[in-house]
Structure 1
């Protein structure tokens, strides 16, 4: 075990929850989208008034925030009605420099731990995207054993109308016209079990239906049993396909091992890793995926974790470790889009020094999040403060991809997101282009500045539908409802 991981393996007194990394033994916050050691807890008062919570937030950020010179400590907390509004004001200088785009936030310990430990969430169990030109909303992914898929909502389904009953249905087009994406979000209601909506929809096959669907608790499967792992025969060559939905569910590591055992048993050496909507998650899962890609790299550098100067003693280097299911891929095509962030980018960036021209980014540019959060808990208030506290770099110390991975990948291939074709289908646009790259066929380079984003971007045609204030699951799984 590398030193960085050893430091993360114990129970974390402050429940480090970093977007993309290891966590406490209790399943609490681990580093998300990065790595790092166990910080010394900042004392936390038991009071939960807004003022107390704001004071605690400021004390933590003064000590741990990665960009101390970009923290506006002169902000008056009494000018802000919520902790999150206060946080947004504190980090505005960093946001203005594109270094903290809503990466620092307050969330629920209980909700996030449930997501990390078992993939537990509540809702319809679908991921939604919207057409920015024609005001249309589509299901771009549906999760198994959840109400949405059970009612017939799957990839490519268009939501036509939403209401609390058949008598008060509002068309999606009218909602978008009157209030934009937020009006649709509001119409769908809160993500609480039992919340019911009547939805009229049209499937990818053209069948129109109307269903009353009740939201419920469900366990989100990181790798779909329907399409998550495939082995394609591309002209007599075996190509492994992996669709990883999220890094935030700790059980993803065991599923990854099972997937790579299939690749290993079939002699696969070329891979398509589909991370197109993957907003990141636990660093420990990212490291597992790295290890499974590094059968020939054991003991070499996977990534570096770097904190602010005052916390440099917490810096660490993660090495590739031995995994019995690991393979040594000769070529990898990473599928990404504007919703691809954090731990997804960490893994892809870490493979560039080793594969060079034999790796490519397929799709559009990614989000651009080369930093990760630690999570600081106040149990009495159910508060977990996710603070940008470290950056991650690859073996060659490359990690300044705030504008997305397209700027650092040796090869990029522009590809569409064919939401009317299921994942794992060789005819789906991005998968087809990925196969072209692996076969040595030419492609058109990515030139866009961000692709599919969770917030509006000029010129975008399709974006993930995301609330202004996402819940714990939506932070890690953008577009989830």
Structure 2
């Protein structure tokens, strides 16, 4: 077992702000760090008790809120996920750890970080919470979903393993109990393994109804879409840079950001729309590069600070702006978010506040609300990584603690919908149009409410994703236990 100081140097380097919040790592390696699982761990070494003991060591030494850890009888639970949930339940009830502490596979998470790939249809799904309708909100280039005709605005109406056993989405949502509702739909879509096939009936935006068998394959989690990831929008003759970053989890996202900002710099862009509406976060090092690319003239000034529990204060760090060849000095920025926007997404927006002030706005809906991040601790022989909330982040003005979402701290907010009738990057889309209004000095309606914590301490589908009265009517379709990629890209299948 690798632990304590060695764990910090080797494993914390893969630190993510998975599902929200985030801080900066001292010097994360490009590989993402972490251990390599041994091929044949012994049953005793990887028993539930052994994994619980490892989790206890991690939490007792590193957990950011030690006063909010519960004592739990190890024999009272049958799996590690439930044990971790029970230990951090007081922090969840206090709205400090909303399922941000979890166990995952070292190999699977490293594969996502290092290769930038996942298995599935290559689509992001959200559902209408009132009418229980399932929509594609985004499709990845080169994946089987887009090739089969599934793209933004498509409604999936039935799912089956063959045409003979199709079940309507509405009937799946109507199933009662723990395995009903959104979980029933997630179950029907099958595991995220290459070779898994499903027959889907869907209606495209133009009205065409299609029934097609689609097989899941490995596909690239391209952080910046080749279709709409980086665009120059014309707003009445003014050039506005539009950047849609899907995820911070893929290490190559930093290089793709550099390329995008190279385009902006070449065009003399100084006003930006940062579209992070579905971005659940990921590598903090990518968020830091994002900041550097907006830090022309600010090299050496504070980008963000990372603060650990009192007993680990020696590990606190401050991340300064660094030199980037393609950096620009933005004069006005609109950040598009929804309840799925978390982690490094929120870190980037919060860190811009001291430098842009009233020239910065949150557009769309309130963000997830997690100004804390996880370190990863590996029990390599068991392919176990425990991600534990271990730090909080603040900006250069020591502002943070946006547990109810960024709307509580941003200088300006502009409420707008997520209009799937238009492609991402289209100026007619509601959130992009509202962002352009802000940048152009035109009026907008503020985001007037924010997410509140569950009174029971339990998690509904909405709460796991930052749900609440300020969310749009659609929320990402998320299984009860999301995989490594789904932690960072809510609604990915």
User: What whole-Å deviation, never above 9, does each CA across 1:179-212 have from its counterpart, x for those lacking one?
Assistant: 2111111110111111100000001121110110
TM-score by length of 2: 0.90
In structure 1, C-alpha distance between the alignment counterparts of 2:80 and 2:436, rounded to whole Å: 47
Q: Residue 464 of structure 1: which of 476, 483, 486 is its match?
A: 476
Would you identify which runs of 4 or more consecutive aligned residues in structure 1 move more than 3 Å?
A: 13-16, 20-26, 450-453, 455-460
Q: Could you tell me whether the CA contact under 8 Å between 2:173 and 2:181 is conserved in 1?
A: yes
In structure 1, C-alpha distance between the alignment counterparts of 2:336 and 2:170, rounded to whole Å: 30
Shift in Å, 1:450: 3.6
Aligned residues: 459
SS where residue 361 of structure 1 aligns? strand
Q: Could you tell me whether the CA contact under 8 Å between 1:17 and 1:376 is conserved in 2?
A: no
Shift in Å, 1:129: 0.3
Which is further off, 444-453 or 281-290? 444-453
Q: Could you tell me whether the CA contact under 8 Å between 1:127 and 1:479 is conserved in 2?
A: yes
Which residue in the other structure is 1:35 paired with?
none
Shift in Å, 1:373: 0.5
Shift in Å, 1:17: 2.8
Which residue in the other structure is 1:129 paired with?
126
Question: Compared with structure 1, are the counterparts of its residues 46 and 315 closer, same or farther at alpha carbon in structure 2 (3 Å cutoff)?
Answer: farther
SS where residue 129 of structure 1 aligns? strand
Which residue in the other structure is 2:310 paired with?
309
Which residue in the other structure is 1:176 paired with?
173
1:432 aligns with 2:436: no
Which residue in the other structure is 2:142 paired with?
145
The unaligned stretches of length 5 or more in structure 2 are 36-42, 453-461
Shift in Å, 1:360: 0.2
In structure 1, C-alpha distance between the alignment counterparts of 2:143 and 2:474, rounded to whole Å: 24
In structure 1, C-alpha distance between the alignment counterparts of 2:79 and 2:362, rounded to whole Å: 39
Shift in Å, 1:331: 0.1
Question: Compared with structure 1, are the counterparts of its residues 459 and 403 closer, same or farther at alpha carbon in structure 2 (3 Å cutoff)?
Answer: closer
Shift in Å, 1:144: 1.1
Which residue in the other structure is 2:40 paired with?
none
Bigger RCO of structures 1 and 2 (CA < 8 A, at least 6 apart): 2
Q: Could you tell me whether the CA contact under 8 Å between 1:280 and 1:344 is conserved in 2?
A: yes
Q: Could you tell me whether the CA contact under 8 Å between 2:224 and 2:256 is conserved in 1?
A: yes
Which residue in the other structure is 1:36 paired with?
none
In structure 2, C-alpha distance between the alignment counterparts of 1:77 and 1:320, rounded to whole Å: 45
Shift in Å, 1:462: 1.1
Aligned CA-pair RMSD: 1.9
Shift in Å, 1:26: 3.3
Q: Residue 60 of structure 2: which of 59, 62, 68 is its match?
A: 62
Question: Compared with structure 1, are the counterparts of its residues 234 and 456 closer, same or farther at alpha carbon in structure 2 (3 Å cutoff)?
Answer: closer
Which residue in the other structure is 2:77 paired with?
80
In structure 2, C-alpha distance between the alignment counterparts of 1:25 and 1:424, rounded to whole Å: 30
In structure 2, C-alpha distance between the alignment counterparts of 1:276 and 1:13, rounded to whole Å: 29
The unaligned stretches of length 5 or more in structure 1 are 1-6, 31-44
Q: Give 1:188-207 correspondences, 5 Å limit.
A: 188-207=189-208
TM-score by length of 1: 0.92
